[in-house]
């Protein structure tokens, strides 16, 4: 068995004070993909290069305290690729790919953090540009190798993926264009939503994000924004998925 976890840290330094290393040790993944590191290399050096015995490989944002992703792993990768070849978003620290290649198999584990468009029209347009670049990038990758993307996608794909879907039809994260991108990537594209393959009908138990407003967590008014998206052969081998 290979155990893969994904976690939005909301700041690695903050997460460290809240026991993230003990949580990783308890769950004992082979790899854990993290998003929103919100730190630069000097902040990580000597402190967070490893967590619970797993070695981290990072893509830092140029802007301090912003974005940033990493993959922590027990297994030594054959290659580490930082960025996806798009200057605008590579500057924001949104993509790191670890390759674990053998003569018989080419395999990648990817941690990526999709932009949020909720702060205003300019960031929503940036999110659409990100999707326009990410789609072809993943399709090209899927023609060459097996991979799994662990990501805070910032999109709830289906009505079952958020509590108040009727009230969010015009809001970022549930816009028709965003959902159409997810549909395309999981039907005509190379990806399978691993959680939905194993839990096709789950609603209230599937959420991964709750607003800080209106007691959303206490009332479980949530969204499923975090995904494991895998190529078909990998997804077919998945035996368990839980949040």
**Chain segment 150-172, per-residue pLDDT in tens:** 999 999 999 999 999 999 999 99
Return the structure tokens found at 155.
């999109």
pTM: 0.97
Q: Report, as an integer, the average pLDDT of 197-217.
A: 95
Q: Are 65 and 29 in contact (CB under 8 A)?
A: no
Query: What percent of the chain is predicted at pLDDT more than 90?
Result: 99
Domains of the chain (ranges; CATH) run 1-92 (3.60.10.10), 114-243 (3.60.10.10)
30 catalytically annotated: no
pLDDT digits (tens, 9 = 90+) for 178-194: 999 999 999 998 999 99
Sequence-distant (≥ 6) Cβ neighbours of residue 68 within 8 angstroms = 12, 35, 36, 37, 38, 39, 40, 58, 59, 60, 61, 93, 113
Is 33 in contact with 150 (CB distance < 8 Å)?
Answer: yes
Mean pLDDT of 56-68: 97
Residue of 152, 161, 193, 226 with catalytic role: 152
Q: Which residue has the tokens 């290649």?
A: 101
Report the b/e string of 149-187 with b at 16+ CB within 10 A: bbbbbbbbbbebbbbeeeebeeebbbbeebbebbeebbe
Q: What is the mean pLDDT of residues 12-19?
A: 97
Place of tokens 């096709």: 200
User: In the chain, what is the greatest distance between 2 CA atoms, to the nearest angstrom?
Assistant: 53
**pLDDT given at position 50:** 97
- How many angstroms separate the Cα of 211 from the Cα of each of 85, 103, 116, 178? 32, 46, 14, 20
Res. 60 pLDDT band, cuts 50 70 90: very high
- The backbone torsions φ and ψ at residue 141, rounded to the nearest 5 degrees and listed phi first, read -65, -40
pLDDT at 40 (0 to 100): 96
- Mean pLDDT for the stretch of residues 56-77: 97
To the nearest whole number, what is the mean pLDDT of the chain?
A: 97
Chain centroid offset of residue 102 CA: 25
pLDDT at 52: 97
């Amino acid at each position: 068995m290979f155990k893969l976890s994904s976690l939005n840290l909301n700041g690695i330094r903050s997460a460290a004070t809240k026991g993230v290393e003990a949580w990783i040790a308890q769950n004992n993944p082979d790899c854990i993909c993290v998003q929103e590191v919100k730190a630069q290399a000097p902040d990580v050096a000597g402190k967070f290069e490893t967590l619970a015995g797993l070695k981290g490989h990072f893509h830092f944002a140029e802007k301090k305290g912003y974005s940033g992703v990493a993959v922590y792993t027990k297994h030594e990768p054959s290659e580490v690729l930082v960025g996806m070849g798009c200057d605008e978003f590579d500057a924001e620290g949104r993509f790191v790919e670890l390759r674990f290649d053998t003569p018989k198999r080419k395999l990648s584990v990817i941690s990526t953090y999709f932009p949020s468009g909720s702060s205003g029209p300019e960031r929503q347009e940036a999110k659409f540009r990100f999707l326009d670049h990410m789609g072809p990038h993943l399709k090209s990758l899927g023609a060459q190798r097996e991979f799994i993307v662990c990501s805070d996608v910032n999109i709830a794909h289906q009505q079952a993926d958020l509590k108040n879907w009727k009230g969010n039809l015009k809001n970022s994260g549930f816009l028709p264009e965003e959902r159409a991108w997810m549909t395309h990537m999981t039907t005509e594209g190379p990806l399978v939503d691993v959680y939905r393959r194993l839990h096709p009908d789950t609603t209230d138990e599937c959420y991964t994000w709750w607003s800080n407003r209106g007691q959303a967590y206490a009332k479980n008014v949530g969204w499923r924004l975090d995904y494991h998206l895998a190529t078909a052969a990998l997804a077919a081998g998945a035996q368990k998925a839980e949040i």
